[in-house]
């Protein structure tokens, strides 16, 4: 098995996590969460989504969050932007990096944002122009890359087509999203190979949901294909809009634990991250799906 020496983690709990939680985190709570994650060593944090407040009320304070979040040397705050307007607002608020999303599945894209894939890509072209003018990097997410809640299987060639379009528009990296948490490790091997062979110069990131318990196995399969960049959500915060009650993203602390045990550096202080996960649990008032719960787990860690 090929393993990277180091992985880069993008913490998406404050965005993908919180937007799938019922409880609204007031702005100061969000700011505290982000500050604690940065203090635990996370250097890339998806801090907000500049979506319509009517569509996702959890993100209605995106501007305040990005404006007020404490700045740490070397910490990149990513803002998800669904359209040109969101990009303008995110840039004005001071986001360090933008993330755009388009689905690999036509039906999911229509149901999700009421646009065709082509229409979404046209919108992303506008976002790319704004990002370029502001000298901000942006990454392109291909959601439902491993399966669609409406169409079922998604062809790897289709994922590659969308990824190639994002790259052509200027995405510095492409993220493959297992939006519904249906991916399995063999599929990860196949899809990553297909995209990497088609776009050999494009840094890939993998965004797994642990809906069905295959999250870490999928991470491992992606590592074996040379991927060294992953999304995680502290505590496994969040869920899946298509599977009520399901776990959220791969829990960041579980990902860090596994990496450190295998001698893969993350830069994250596992004990500090576990503390954050437990604090988040106390706020949401339920046990989060992350498996690493106690400080005793942290002493098992290798040096990061
Ligand atoms: Zn997600």
Sequence-separated (6 or more) residues with CB below 8 Å from residue 153: 147
User: Please, which pLDDT band fits residue 205 given cuts at 50, 70 and 90?
Assistant: very high
pLDDT at 24: 92
Distance between Cα 13 and ligand 1 center (Å):
10
148 counts as catalytic: no
Mean pLDDT of the chain: 95
18: its two tokens: 């919180």
Helices (H), the chain: 27-39, 62-68, 84-93, 106-113, 117-133, 156-169, 185-198, 215-224, 252-261, 270-284, 295-298
pLDDT at 299: 65
230 has which bridge partners?
A: 9, 206
For 27-77, what is each residue's pLDDT tens digit?
A: 999 999 999 999 999 999 999 999 999 989 999 999 999 999 999 899 999
Identify the CA nearest to 265 among candidates 48, 36, 41.
Answer: 41
Alpha-carbon distance of 207 to 161, in angstroms, equals 18
Distance between Cα 33 and ligand 1 center (Å):
19
Question: Which class is domain 8-302?
Answer: alpha beta
Distance between Cα 257 and ligand 1 center (Å):
21
How large is the average pLDDT for residues 195-211? 97
Alpha-carbon distance of 48 to 63, in angstroms, equals 8
For 244-294, what is each residue's pLDDT tens digit?
A: 878 899 999 999 999 999 999 999 999 999 999 999 999 999 999 999 887
Distance between Cα 197 and ligand 1 center (Å):
24
Catalytic one among 223, 240, 247, 292? 240
Identify the CA nearest to 275 among candidates 247, 304, 295.
Answer: 295
Distance between Cα 177 and ligand 1 center (Å):
6
Distance between Cα 62 and ligand 1 center (Å):
17
Q: How many helices (H) and strands (E) does the chain have?
A: 11, 8
Distance between Cα 220 and ligand 1 center (Å):
18
pLDDT at 244: 80
pLDDT at 193: 98
**pLDDT value at 149 more than 60:** yes
Residue 18 DSSP one-character state: G
Distance between Cα 180 and ligand 1 center (Å):
8
Neighbour count for residue 56 (Cβ, 10 Å)? 18
Distance between Cα 299 and ligand 1 center (Å):
30
Q: Give the global pTM.
A: 0.96
How large is the average pLDDT for residues 292-298? 74
Alpha-carbon distance of 35 to 57, in angstroms, equals 22
pLDDT at 300: 67
Helix axes 84-93, 117-133, angle to 10 degrees: 30
Q: Which residues have CB atoms below 5 A from the ion given as ligand 1?
A: 16
pLDDT at 231: 98
């Amino acid at each position: 098995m090929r393993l990277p020496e180091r992985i880069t983690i993008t913490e998406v709990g404050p965005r993908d996590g919180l937007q799938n939680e019922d409880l609204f985190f007031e702005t100061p709570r969000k700011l505290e969460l982000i500050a604690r994650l940065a203090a635990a060593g996370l250097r890339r944090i998806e801090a907000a989504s500049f979506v319509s407040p009517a569509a996702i009320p959890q993100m209605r304070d995106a501007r305040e969050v990005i404006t007020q979040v404490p700045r740490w040397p070397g910490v990149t705050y990513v803002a998800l932007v669904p359209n040109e307007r969101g990009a303008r607002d995110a840039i004005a608020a001071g986001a360090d990096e933008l993330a755009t999303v388009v689905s690999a599945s036509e039906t999911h894209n229509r149901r999700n944002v009421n646009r065709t894939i082509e229409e979404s890509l046209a919108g992303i072209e506008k976002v790319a122009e704004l990002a370029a003018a502001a000298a901000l990097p942006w990454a392109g997410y291909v959601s439902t890359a491993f399966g669609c809640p409406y169409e079922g299987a998604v062809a790897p060639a289709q994922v590659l087509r969308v990824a190639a379009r994002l790259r052509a528009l200027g995405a510095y990296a492409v993220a493959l999203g297992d939006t519904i948490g249906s991916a399995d490790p063999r599929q990860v091997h196949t899809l990553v190979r297909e995209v990497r062979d088609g776009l050999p110069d494009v840094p890939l990131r993998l965004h797994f949901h642990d809906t069905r318990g295959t999250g870490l196995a999928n991470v491992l399969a992606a590592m074996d294909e040379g991927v060294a960049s992953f999304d995680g959500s502290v505590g496994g915060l969040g869920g899946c809009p298509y599977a009520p009650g399901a776990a959220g993203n791969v829990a960041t602390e579980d990902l860090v634990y596994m990496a450190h045990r295998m001698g893969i550096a993350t830069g994250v202080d596992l004990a500090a991250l576990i503390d954050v996960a437990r604090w988040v649990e106390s706020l949401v008032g339920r046990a989060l799906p992350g498996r690493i719960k106690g400080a005793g787990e942290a002493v098992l860690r290798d040096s990061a």
